[in-house]
Amino acid sequence: MNTIHRRALPLAAMMLVFGFAAYAAEPDSVTISNFAFSPAILSVSSGTKVTWTNKDEEPHTVTSADAGKTFKSDALDTDDSFSFTFDKPGVYKYFCSIHPHMTGTIVVK
């Protein structure tokens, strides 16, 4: 019993830590993988810094779809990241300027 107890505690602690980490990382990041933005629609609260990370071997960009290009990354090579802080509520559509069929949306509340 004692052994099981000792094993169970660190495991529970680890699960808790990883659980929180996953929870904390998820709401403000977008993964670019397999020629898609994931999640395709991300809701965040105003003032949130959103980070996109490219996990593909092909480069991608994060380019705001509005005429004024509210946000626009350089070419993101494999494992490169781009961040933008959304200060105003609204619906922000974006795409990859190299592969325009890749689209995503950030909803800022």
Q: Is 83 in the site for other proteins (CB under 8 A)?
A: no
* The amino acid at 102: M
Q: Is 78 in the site for other proteins (CB under 8 A)?
A: yes
Name the E strands within the chain. Answer: 29-33, 36-38, 41-44, 48-54, 63-64, 81-86, 90-95, 103-108
Name the segment binding other proteins (CB under 8 A); options: 8-16, 17-25, 58-66, 82-90.
Answer: 58-66
Q: Is 93 in the site for other proteins (CB under 8 A)?
A: yes
Separation CA 68–CA 62 (nearest Å): 14
**Interacting residues with other proteins (CB under 8 A):** 34-35, 56-59, 61, 65, 72, 74-75, 77-78, 93-95, 97-101, 103
